[in-house]
Chain A
Amino acid sequence: MINVAHIKVKKGRTEILKEATFRIEPGKITVVVGKNGAGKSTMLEALTGSNPLSGGSIHWEGEAMEKMSSKTMAIRRAVLSQSVKISFSLRVGELVEMGTYVSDEPLPQIKIDSLIKSALQEVEMQDFIDRDFTTLSGGEQKRVLLAKCIAQLNCCCWSNVNKYLFLDEPTANLDVEQQFKLIELVRKLVRRRNVGVFAVLHDINLAAQFADEILMLRDGRIIKKGSPQDILTPENIKETFDIRAIVTPHPVFGCPHITTLPKHISESSISSFTKKSISYEK
């Protein structure tokens, strides 16, 4: 379990993250939502160790994070970044192999090859192994990067260590089908390997379907946290995003389904819209 207590993060002189206390549990999906500039990405950087804290503490299974080396961190967690830009040509296979660099002892080539292959199979990109990464589309690149994370998590199989996966807006650049596939894949990692997931998501509906726990972030503070059912209410959504929302049960999954509305629409026109859509259904 990752225990996050009262963390603060400064960038330059501005305090981006002012107060955040929560836990990331293995086998659970924690999602943070909030407006642009609320501090979501900063929070992710702080949790992954790439941005130093200016206050508070983070403990990984009781171990203080500031004492952990970059290698120890990399054995326990993988990070799926929003995107990477590279200026050299690089084969997809070579990129995925980088996930295995974290291994302490030199791995035999057969083991490395099988790690690469199985990771690419999981994201259905096995046919792209010899392609140049820079020639792939945004969505394909994202899947290859996820394969790299999977290779990294599979590389050091320490049964006694909990592993975590951090996702920074994983569904950006993906078409609807790929969004579902990616989420299904992450869920599989959670179910089968008991991986703990922390994700920054823009899409509240995706968060509602995906998350076990949601953190609502505003101006660097967590203003609400809890299960989607408990906290995705019109009031909380308004407080977090400054928008009006209608929350209904999802017709298939039963989780909250959020219809967002621009501010200028009045209460009376909302009710007339709702009536129209109901009569349309009939």
Chain B
Amino acid sequence: MDRLKICLSLPALLLILFISAGAALFFGAYSMSLTEALTALFQSHNEATHFLMLHIRLPRIIMAALVGAGLAVSGTAIQGLFRNPLADQTLIGVTSGAMLFAVLSIVFFGSIIAALAPFLAQASVAIFAFLGGLLTTYLVYILSRRQGKTNVVTMLLAGIAITAFAGAITGIFIYLSDDQQLRDITFWSLGSFSGANWIQVSILVPIVGVGTILLMRYAKALNAILLGEGEAYYLGVPVEKVKTRTILLTALIVGVCISMTGIIGFVGLIIPHFLRLLKGTDYRYLLRSTPLVGAIFLVLADTLARTIIAPAELPIGILTAMVGAPFFLWLLTQRQNKRMAI
């Protein structure tokens, strides 16, 4: 257990992240020896491998790490806010909204935008998904507000209802789509890092970075909210402010992440669970460690996704669910065995 504790300390997790990211650089559809890879990374003798390293693998790995961090940290914050171990970002509607608008963009606006503004064509799905995510979260949020207070139970239920409604409309568009669009939609809903580039990384760095740091400031507040909102207020926490800002930050982080990669499930749910089971429920630790573990998880999962059936690629969402679902079941049996509350 002691060895595990050392492994889960923040410096160790940071080290593991760097090692996994470094290792991920050398694996891929185009296999290289270690020396070959290092030369390719730092010298431009061989244009093709240099380009591959610097403009394909490196941004992709960084993006996987950032998205993993973003999804995991927002899942942690949402579980804390809703005081519910089964909560994740899908609950505030951001995922279903992003999905609906992405489908809308693929089926309808894709061709229009491509004709009007070709430079936006590639980004249109991402922009739509981002706006859709924020819009839906806003809708869920205002539905659950009464007299200046947000009721999280109403929010949870509103989130479920809006998700179902968005799902139905998404269904209509899927029904209307042609074969190619259907394929695009399916791949988007399974998530992928294959389009990663430096522009996306440069958008993700400030949003995930600043968002995570701001969420960390609410660690004590989320700890207090564990006891209930009333108790948190008694302990001096400005509950409404914390709620509004956590939801806003989460929607921003998740919105920008999934707009670029498509939907990647389970990360926001299982990473916080995993750490909570091993280290307990202290958000001062969880909000620092979950982004690191989320980053490690997606870097490794993405490496697997692009090597397992190379030269083809597996959508990352399939892998995270395949690893995530059995793990989640294991977690549930652990909880029953230990008779502990997760």
Quick check: A89 and B340 within 8 Å, CB to CB?
yes
The size class of the interface chain B forms with chain A is 20 to 34
Check A74/B342 contact, CB under 8 A, given A85-B228, A86-B83.
no
Flag whether A75 is at the interface (Cβ < 8 A).
Answer: yes
- Pick the contact of A98 from B235, B239, B339, B340 — CB < 8 Å? B235
Q: Provide the B233-247 mask, 1 if CB < 8 A to any CB of A, else 0.
A: 111111100000000
Flag whether A223 is at the interface (Cβ < 8 A).
Answer: no
Q: Provide the A191-204 mask, 1 if CB < 8 A to any CB of B, else 0.
A: 00000000000000
Check A50/B85 contact, CB under 8 A, given A84-B228, A89-B341.
no
Check A90/B280 contact, CB under 8 A, given A71-B236, A98-B224, A101-B237.
yes
Flag whether B230 is at the interface (Cβ < 8 A).
Answer: yes
- A154: shortest Cβ distance to chain B, in Å? 14
In the bound complex, what is the Cα–Cα distance between A241 and B265 (angstroms)?
A: 57
Question: In the complex, what residues of B have CB within 8 A of residue A152's CB?
Answer: 235
Flag whether A146 is at the interface (Cβ < 8 A).
Answer: no
Q: Which label, helix, strand, loop or mixed, suits the secondary structure of the B interface?
A: loop
In the bound complex, what is the Cα–Cα distance between A74 and B231 (angstroms)?
A: 11
The size class of the interface chain A forms with chain B is 20 to 34
Check A84/B280 contact, CB under 8 A, given A70-B233, A89-B341.
no
* CB nearest to B220 among chain A residues: A101
Check A48/B234 contact, CB under 8 A, given A87-B341, A89-B341, A101-B220.
yes
In the bound complex, what is the Cα–Cα distance between A49 and B240 (angstroms)?
A: 14
Flag whether A69 is at the interface (Cβ < 8 A).
Answer: yes
Flag whether A78 is at the interface (Cβ < 8 A).
Answer: yes
Quick one: which of B66-123 are within 8 Å of A by CB?
83-85
Flag whether A260 is at the interface (Cβ < 8 A).
Answer: no
Flag whether B313 is at the interface (Cβ < 8 A).
Answer: no
Quick one: which of A12-67 are within 8 Å of B by CB?
48-50
Q: Which residues of A contact B (CB under 8 A)?
A: 48-50, 69-71, 73-75, 78-79, 81, 84-91, 94-95, 98-99, 101-102, 132, 134-135, 152
